[in-house]
Amino acid sequence: MPVYSHSRLSSFENCPLQYRYRYIDKIKRDVEGIEAFVGKLTHEVLQALYSDLDRARRAGAGEYKEMFRSLWRSRLTPRVKIVREEMTPEDYGALGERCVETYYNRHHPFDSGEVIGCETRVEFALDGQRRYRMLGFIDRIDRVAPGVYEVHDYKTGSLPRAGALKNDRQLTLYEIAVRERFTGVNEVRQVWHFLAHDKKFVERRTQDDLVKTRLSAIRSIQNIEATAEFPARRSALCSWCEYRDICPEWEAERQPVPRAQAQPSVPPPEPSPDMETSSGQFLLFGKSSP
Ligand code: SF4
């Protein structure tokens, strides 16, 4: 039986065809969106910070900014793609550094709780028969008092819509995992750090919320497993999809300009932005759709 994750369920919900390419056909793509790249490096720096707190308390924010900068320089390659045309790699590098610096300054000396784990792998069941299983990696787990835990999640992107975190599935699933893993858990707080905005949000769930999230995730898995057709669902997210170059939804945009049109006997009109954006290279680099 496959093990699911929040991202896997989200992929199916956003676009069944993307789900099929990624999780059934297992088509590998050597590309990564720069937003995900910034997030990954920021997580690595904060993991390093929390894995040696004595050092982190003595160091300054500059040391961790420099760690980010060094990772950025050594790992940024052409396989990291920028979708937003108005942004440059330097903009994203500066964003990552700002996230690290802001977090450091806000939370130093990092003593709000006992760190139980960073990037902790959790595997847990949604049902008593262990038929529906989930996997996840929790950015950080803290114990802040006997029986009181926090699951922390770092975000480098934009702030959530009003009320969105009240229905967040990911950290609710992680709360279920924490309640399974540790004994004597009385309370779990779900904590999001929107690093670029220096904002922290905390939510608590009721037992009823946890049951609803379990049942909803089980229904999502059942839906996936009963699916025979995986239709494409075109949306703004296609700009970040690693399969846009093979997706039938984007076939028309990939068609080369016919030769007769490309070399006319009369002067051609000025190419429109649309014509320029229909080249394979445009799509390969995943720039914004019109
Ligand atoms: S490009 Fe869009 S429609 Fe096509 S697989 Fe990706 S997300 Fe789905």
Does residue 216 carry a pLDDT above 50? yes
Residue 241 Cα to ligand 1 midpoint, Å, equals 6
The pick from 10, 14, 234 for probing ligand 1's pocket by mutation, whose C-beta has the most ligand atoms within 8 angstroms, reads: 234
Q: Whose CA is nearest to atom 4 of ligand 1?
A: 247
The reported pLDDT for the residue numbered 203 is 98
Task: Judge if the beta carbon of residue 43 lies within 6 A of ligand 1.
Answer: no
Place 108 in a pLDDT band, splitting at 50, 70 and 90: very high
Task: Judge if the beta carbon of residue 18 lies within 6 A of ligand 1.
Answer: yes
The reported pLDDT for the residue numbered 266 is 37
Higher per-residue pLDDT: 253 or 248: 248
Task: Judge if the beta carbon of residue 241 lies within 6 A of ligand 1.
Answer: yes
What's the CA gap between 104 and 109, in Å, rounded?
A: 8
Higher per-residue pLDDT: 254 or 259: 254
Q: Whose CA is nearest to atom 2 of ligand 1?
A: 238
Place 1 in a pLDDT band, splitting at 50, 70 and 90: confident
Peptide bond just before 109 cis, omega within 30 deg: yes
What's the CA gap between 278 and 252, in Å, rounded?
A: 8
The reported pLDDT for the residue numbered 254 is 82
Q: Are 134 and 5 in contact (CB under 8 A)?
A: yes
Tell me what the pLDDT averaged over the chain comes to.
89
Report the atom number in ligand 1 closest to the C-alpha of 247: 4
Q: Write out pLDDT tens, residues 71-101.
A: 999 999 999 999 999 999 999 999 999 999 9
The arithmetic mean of pLDDT across residues 123-134, rounded, is 97
Does residue 161 carry a pLDDT above 90? yes
Task: Judge if the beta carbon of residue 247 lies within 6 A of ligand 1.
Answer: yes
Joined together, the tokens standing for residue 52 give: 């040696």
